[in-house]
């Protein structure tokens, strides 16, 4: 298929192979006589889809057996409320604010936790750097420490998850990995809970993934609705209420697609990590070697998934975007809160798409030099 390249921050492109497979089974899944959207979520057909998706995800992300995988709804914004309703029993929660999404998470948690502490913030740098963990002001006895491990708007990413124990904290680490889940490996020894919307790297909007350590279940606040209580959801295998069946199905196909990916001797998520590093390096090198484009994020914490950049002459922004659209390079306009441009290069974006963008950027600069 000759499709344009979609650089949207989300919902983002789904692998073409996955779309083709889903289309082939739209009306009849594996000879069942039913499309997935018609199935009972408690029927054996959909249960088999859900169980396979969970098994594939556990394998892909090397999720330990003492973590539960929950398929929920509401996206990352809902989890900003659901997490504190489940984990803030000690009262105090710590937040490391590194951009717009962790700001939103902090604001929402203040509605449920008795105290939400800003342990560190990158705001003074314009969210162009990550606060040094050695300087974090962590609370004694905090219920959890929250980070957004990749900020889609400001384009900063934790290249390594913080080791809270080494920082003197026994609190579980909560990560919002919505925008880089399955793009790189996860050190689960440092994580208590991870959540993310599927609509960037795992499938269509509608599915929210929660991976939670078993010892953190069963501590929900009395105000927490049963449908948001992680223990209730886990005890019912994510079927306490009607789940987003179609989104789970497409995510399951995406997990299988990810398992088939290869780069040299690497497969699965390891292959995607190598590929994503190469894609990001190609784009950042083009920006850094240019006289027209600039990326303001400190090099050690640049995101591999979301690359914001600016034209030094912003009067040329509209011409740049119009030319990009003519080339089939879509959704490059930056977030309204920061301006400029942004290229989101998630797992489904092939190297050819990044190369096409780089070629256009160089041509645009040369044509108007």
CATH number of 272's domain: 3.90.1150.10
Same domain, 192 and 317: no
| Domain contains 344 | yes
Q: Which of 258, 280, 298 is the last residue of a domain?
A: 258
Same domain, 170 and 294: no
| Domain contains 8 | no
| Domain contains 3 | no
CA-based nearest residue to 99, from 123, 124, 75: 123
242 CB-near residues (< 8 Å, 6+ apart): 41
The Cα 63–Cα 57 span in angstroms is: 8
pLDDT in tens, the chain (369 residues): 578 999 999 999 899 999 999 999 989 999 999 999 999 999 999 999 999 999 999 999 999 999 999 999 999 999 999 999 999 987 899 999 999 999 999 999 999 999 999 999 999 999 999 999 999 999 999 999 999 999 999 999 999 999 999 999 999 999 999 999 999 999 999 999 999 999 999 999 999 999 999 999 999 999 999 999 999 999 999 999 999 999 999 999 999 999 999 999 999 999 999 999 999 999 999 999 999 999 999 999 999 999 999 999 999 999 999 999 999 999 999 999 999 999 999 999 999 999 999 999 999 999 876
Same domain, 280 and 221: no
CATH classification of the domain holding 154: 3.40.640.10
| Domain contains 11 | no
Same domain, 104 and 52: yes
Same domain, 279 and 247: no
Cα distances from 157 to residues 190, 234, 293, 305, in angstroms, run 16, 30, 21, 9
Q: Which of 237, 258, 279 is the last residue of a domain?
A: 258
Residue numbers annotated as active site: 101, 176, 200
Is residue 31 classed exposed, middle or buried when 0-12, 13-18 and 19+ CB atoms within 10 A define those classes?
exposed
Model pLDDT, residue 361: 98
Q: Are 302 and 280 in contact (CB under 8 A)?
A: yes
Give the domain extent around 281: 265-367
The Cα 131–Cα 139 span in angstroms is: 16
Same domain, 34 and 133: yes
31 CB-near residues (< 8 Å, 6+ apart): none
Tell me: the pLDDT tens digits for 219-262?
A: 999 999 999 999 999 999 999 999 999 999 999 999 999 999 99
Model pLDDT, residue 369: 65
Q: Which of 223, 258, 293 is the last residue of a domain?
A: 258
CA-based nearest residue to 41, from 207, 195, 203, 255: 207
| Domain contains 1 | no
Structural domain count, the chain = 2
């Amino acid at each position: 298929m000759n499709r344009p390249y979609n650089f949207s921050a989300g919902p983002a492109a789904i692998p073409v192979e996955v779309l083709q497979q889903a289309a082939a089974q739209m009306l009849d899944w594996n000879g069942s006589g039913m499309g997935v959207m018609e199935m009972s979520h408690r029927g054996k057909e959909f249960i088999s889809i859900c169980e396979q998706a969970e098994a594939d995800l556990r394998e892909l992300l090397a999720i330990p057996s003492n973590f539960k995988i929950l398929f929920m709804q509401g996206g990352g914004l809902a989890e900003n409320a659901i997490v504190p309703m489940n984990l803030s029993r000690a009262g105090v929660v710590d937040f490391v604010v590194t951009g717009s999404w962790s700001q939103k998470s902090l604001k929402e948690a203040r509605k449920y936790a008795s105290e939400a502490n800003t342990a560190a913030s990158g705001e003074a740098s314009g969210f162009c750097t990550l606060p040094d963990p050695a300087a974090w002001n962590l609370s004694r006895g905090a219920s959890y420490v929250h980070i957004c491990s990749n900020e889609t708007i400001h384009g900063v990413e934790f290249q390594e998850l913080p080791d809270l124990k080494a920082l003197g904290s026994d609190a579980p680490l909560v990560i919002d990995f919505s925008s880089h889940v399955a793009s790189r490996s996860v050190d689960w020894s440092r994580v208590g809970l991870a959540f993310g919307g599927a609509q960037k790297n795992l499938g269509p909007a509608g599915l929210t993934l929660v991976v939670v350590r078993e010892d953190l279940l069963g501590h929900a606040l009395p105000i927490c609705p049963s449908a948001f209580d992680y223990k209730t959801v886990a005890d019912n295998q994510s079927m306490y209420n009607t789940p987003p069946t179609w989104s789970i199905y497409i995510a399951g196909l995406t997990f299988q697609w990810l398992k088939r990916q290869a780069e040299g001797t690497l497969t699965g998520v390891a292959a995607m990590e190598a590929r994503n590093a190469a894609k990001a390096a190609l784009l950042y090198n083009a920006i850094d070697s240019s006289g027209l484009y600039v990326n303001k994020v400190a090099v050690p914490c640049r995101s591999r998934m979301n690359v914001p950049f600016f034209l030094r002459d912003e009067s040329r922004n509209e011409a740049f975007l119009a030319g990009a659209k003519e080339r089939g390079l879509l959704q490059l306009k930056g977030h309204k809160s920061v301006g400029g441009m942004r290229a989101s290069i998630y797992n489904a974006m092939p190297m050819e798409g990044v190369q096409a963008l780089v070629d256009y950027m160089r041509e645009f600069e040369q044509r108007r030099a």
